[in-house]
Structure 1
């Protein structure tokens, strides 16, 4: 039996509940006495001077303003109208209040906000000035190259690579029925929040090495905490698990928080078995990471806040909209607790010093954000049957006159924060009222005027003049937008675009691969007397190959250059014949001596070495023959292509010879890069350049395609070397550890695993640079590049 960390968890929750009830009663008093109306009416009179224009200003303000979803255009507009600094100042101030629990009257905080605003201004000016240099299809998906390069500046590239790999793993694990994009967005947001808090906690004058160490730790701890949202909260809220599975899973989490030790999962049966095993394994790793980084001074508080957070969510999760008997305390106390504890946890995870001011402000502040989010998600929550103060009031407000209107309480909380928590500070008033009006503007925009009016009629504040004041602010106020909202919208757009681009990539690969496989096998067209070589060739071709090279050629030829599919099909076959021949030679006993390839015995194991050698030679010539069938193209162009193709085969042979002579030797990085270019990059180059030759593109574009292929090919090879030591044989289709067995120099043996990963991402960045200059119409090569470095087989 594990020693209990929380000996009396019920008392821990009850103590927090008692504190929440005191706060709630303070709010109820102001709610019932309507004191918040007088306070906020006065606040709005001050606030509107900067946000509600007079008749002349209103006339000139009718100049069209770009929508926030037009990210770069909106930033350009802010710069042009000299609104950027004010926009950023209120945005950063809001983050300091919400996530860092700071007050805005503190001189140190004011100085730090100004520093961040200046840095953001510089970054945004640079971003919009360079926006025209990146093609639209790259701009609408994740810029992993920029993320990696930014991490490199702070020596956190290994932690960033680790995080990118984790994000891909999470995305692959989340099943249908759960929101993958939202899960990744929350996870990224939480990691960013933890890293930001770590930055603000760093002592002045810290060494770069120590700063890197602390930021690396924060990235990993941010992930460890963030993973609980999709893997616990969202999972338990979804319909993925049965009731019995939900109860069992909840019991595992509760036991972990009470004992400080994650129990074994045990046997899990049913269709969710594989998913739950993967999820729980990741959660246990995350929990161990948090434990290892705990200081004794903050350990107890971490378990207390984590338990309060989890239990308050469980309390809400068990509610149903069919129950008409919930009290106001039933509805509001859990959200006070979960909204505050979720942020208090972050400081305990980072083992930040005790800060009573932070704890108090965070406790009072949480419900403000939670009520705003619940109002925004009203219809989504109604559809899912979730009980929130807004969904419950929406359903029962006609029957239950005792129910507190959550929209009114929302304004009560705002008045309480401005005047009770932040001592009527003018900057706080500016930020909070901006945020409140902005949220309502966004809600109105999303719902449309008619639906917004219907919702407001239900939740209208019980004071006509104040209610009218709010709507005047919503309709007429300007300059109330926030940078974090812009980033959130952009993040959601990018995540959706990225997911769609990934799906399109997978579908294209699948579709084209099927077409190639149907027409790939060699027929005995010349009635050769002995078909054994043809049979052997077809045996190799029937293996479960990726067909990446001909697929790349199809996409570039058909989608990018508009060539006719049937007219270039001989080229697709030619490329796969060349590639398969190279694999046959590569596997021979005199070379790598591989036993399996593409998930089954190699050709020389199935036939013999002599047949394998002859088959490889036969297929290189068959590849040339296929190129002569490109009869719809100009003869001189085809001759140029055949000449280029023969040069490629020569280089591939040189690359293989370099590999053979390198066995048992220690190559340096330059030699390894050269060998990799000839062995791998040249094949990718041919796949891109050959359709470009047929399409008669300019030499400048061909050179950029060669650059992309060079760096992408090396990145691909480094990933292959990494998979040889950390992949899964069942996925790879070939044995692991061959490089070590053959005493081959690889990027892993030369650089070590960590530096090999860095080198892979360096080449990813260089390939991405070439893509930016190419300005292609199709996003396929971007997704192909992502696949090269993020694949697990």
Structure 2
């Protein structure tokens, strides 16, 4: 059966090529006649008055110890201190309005919008009360709460985690995640700009919720289409089959079935196909019928232009200038035109024209910055091709000259010589060269300039004078980009270290848990205890104690080993009691039959009691610490045990009875949170930490424990038994009040994230490295068992 075509692919691409060819002819004329040089030289003469200071002023300004522009917090503070922050944010937001929103800065309305955004952003960046990084998970969730879109945020965090987990080896997960986040932010910007200031909050929340999901659906194409086809993950045959699937989807408006994909990448392609199909269907379901065709046409133009470029080879010396530049014009403009059609925004001829002419400016700037990476990858860009063949091909256009021709055309023909537009575009151009020079070093930068700028020595002297002397040309989006990339890389390294640390310490703890000293023959209690201890437990509490004690307080690892055993003995005892028939009546624990199923109820009860006493015995073995400190620890430990018993009694009493959220929070703290508290407070007691620090750790543990319990309740509802190591659905079988039964699954997730944020806020009060605890919270809310 032949599917009905939604678009005429050849026709729409040919029309786009014709428009791009006409634009290229305009640029070609500017380059060959060098008319852009005169225009931009005049522009720079005017521009430099705002950016090149008198030498004395420059000297005085430098005495204020300008920080590295890559230091996010310090740089914002320095800009505010020197009175530069307003201008910095103004040019940054103005640039985003031109590049991402296709707006003209000539418009008084747009100027007012820019001022409003700048004011709000400045208030956020300089707020002394806001200790949370807005671009952290906690900061973003707080924003989602304010906008009433917590469910969309939670959904997105889960999606980003799954995407990151499925990025194959050979692709960069941080780059993929950053690009995906950038696309989502772009769609949110478009939707936000389409809304009037008086939009009701309910409608605003609904539209922002959709924007997040639409942004994800569109952004997913970058890691799983563009980047995947550029990478060396799929075979050539697989790439052909995969490209065919994408092409069919765009032409027909429907995702074809995958069929029987054969090969080592079958599971990867199955996941990607399923996720992209859901994403494509979501976009279609939220588009107006009149914009669906336009979306498919722009998406096809973008995809096909990428494919045209993708098959090019640097070994081919015969590409024409048109073959090099027309696909770039098409893909750079259509990528942003798609975003507007994704949200079904009304047609805007001014936006379409400005976006079409603007795209190649960004592409040429990006290709210039990435030229040496592209050479390594064998990628054909105007810069890599010119570098290889400029001595053999007199007809080749110098891409650096074309770049400046594009700038001149934008300033004077597209934006009608608007002074603000001229200022911002030249700021951006000089900033790009400055960043490139810093990254490559002066010698390498000069080599590049000798090649690309030698054709216009007078104009090059103007440019290089600006690069050397001009100030105040940096942009917030670049600072933020570097900040996000650094955070993503650091988070990945810290997460890997966190997981490695957990495995290492767990192995160490597991090696110390077995109870060897058996005074009686055929002792079933010790055997039963060892059976329970040998289960595949997370050992989360003693691991927390070890990291906090050794890394946080500098305690000797071997000196606190008895404390680690004590915590695990106590925790295991609580699980044995919890599993008994007259309590939760569990049959499986840690992937194995529970103790009372393997032995009997009486042995299980005695074993749990035995382990509680062994826990106290271990604490008395902390001989490296003075007796008074150990006594305080034991007193605290006994109190914790008493409270845990009260919490379990509350749990038993609550079965079959509806609890209030407040009652559930109290019970949860006694059952779960207090064990987390003990894991942190016990090493703090041994280290004789200040009372205020212990208070902060208790607050953290309270919120961490509740978040942990909510996640447990959610896993009991939604989890996989094979992953959990115990049956799901036990809470419902036991008629237990849980966060899910009281709040519902969706509100339970919101409550978990709220406690996540409160726990992360509390870490600001702990005067030592809390990286492990930060990733512990990430683990708690993202775990699957």
User: TM-score under structure 1 normalisation?
Assistant: 0.97
Larger relative CO (CA 8 A, sep 6+): 1 or 2?
Answer: 1
Determine if contact 1:5/1:300 at 8 Å carries over to the other structure: no
CA distance in 1, matches of 2:404, 2:348: 27
- 1:512 is aligned, of 505, 509, 533, to 505
Match of 2:488 in 1: 495
- 1:652 is aligned, of 635, 644, 653, to 644
Match of 1:108 in 2: 109
Asked whether 1:791 is paired with 2:777, we answer no
The offset of 1:337, in angstroms, is 0.6
Match of 2:53 in 1: 53
CA distance in 1, matches of 2:12, 2:597: 67
The offset of 1:80, in angstroms, is 2.0
| CA RMSD after TM alignment | 1.5
- 2:621 is aligned, of 623, 629, 642, to 629
Q: Secondary structure at the match of 2:116?
A: helix
The offset of 1:527, in angstroms, is 2.2
Match of 2:602 in 1: 610
Q: Secondary structure at the match of 2:455?
A: coil
User: Which shows bigger deviation, 279-288 or 60-69?
Assistant: 60-69
Match of 1:241 in 2: 234
Match of 1:706 in 2: 698
The offset of 1:608, in angstroms, is 2.0
Residues 145-156 of structure 1: pairs in structure 2 closer than 5 A: 145-156=138-149
How many residues in Structure 1 have an aligned counterpart in Structure 2?
784
Residues 639 and 62 of structure 1: is their aligned pair in 2 closer, same or farther, counting only changes over 3 Å? closer
CA distance in 1, matches of 2:566, 2:135: 34
Match of 1:21 in 2: 21
Match of 1:640 in 2: 632
The offset of 1:609, in angstroms, is 1.9
The offset of 1:153, in angstroms, is 1.1
The offset of 1:26, in angstroms, is 0.9
Asked whether 1:161 is paired with 2:154, we answer yes
Determine if contact 2:7/2:293 at 8 Å carries over to the other structure: no
Match of 1:259 in 2: 252
Match of 1:81 in 2: 82
Determine if contact 1:5/1:303 at 8 Å carries over to the other structure: no
Match of 1:391 in 2: 384
The offset of 1:269, in angstroms, is 3.4
Which structure 1 residue ranges, 5 or more long, are not aligned? Answer: none
Residues 736-751 of structure 1: pairs in structure 2 closer than 5 A: 736-751=728-743
Match of 1:574 in 2: 566
Determine if contact 2:72/2:479 at 8 Å carries over to the other structure: yes
User: Which shows bigger deviation, 164-173 or 402-411?
Assistant: 164-173
The offset of 1:461, in angstroms, is 4.9
Residues 371 and 172 of structure 1: is their aligned pair in 2 closer, same or farther, counting only changes over 3 Å? same
User: Which shows bigger deviation, 70-79 or 570-579?
Assistant: 70-79
Determine if contact 2:550/2:557 at 8 Å carries over to the other structure: yes
- 1:522 is aligned, of 481, 499, 515, to 515
Match of 2:662 in 1: 670
Match of 1:533 in 2: 525
CA distance in 2, matches of 1:292, 1:521: 58
Q: Secondary structure at the match of 2:240?
A: helix
CA distance in 1, matches of 2:541, 2:670: 15
Asked whether 1:290 is paired with 2:283, we answer yes
Residues 396-475 of structure 1: pairs in structure 2 closer than 5 A: 396-475=389-468
Give CA deviations for 1:722-770 in whole Å, capped at 9, x if unaligned.
1112222221111111111111111011001111111111111221121
- 1:558 is aligned, of 550, 553, 558, to 550
CA distance in 2, matches of 1:567, 1:80: 49
CA distance in 1, matches of 2:99, 2:2: 37
CA distance in 1, matches of 2:60, 2:623: 64
CA distance in 2, matches of 1:651, 1:78: 52
CA distance in 1, matches of 2:68, 2:169: 32
Match of 1:32 in 2: 32
Match of 1:336 in 2: 329
* Deviation >4 Å, runs of 4+: none
Asked whether 1:586 is paired with 2:578, we answer yes
Which structure 2 residue ranges, 5 or more long, are not aligned? Answer: none
Give CA deviations for 1:42-69 in whole Å, capped at 9, x if unaligned.
1111111111223433443443421211
CA distance in 2, matches of 1:531, 1:397: 86
Residues 641 and 58 of structure 1: is their aligned pair in 2 closer, same or farther, counting only changes over 3 Å? closer
The offset of 1:130, in angstroms, is 5.0
Asked whether 1:696 is paired with 2:683, we answer no
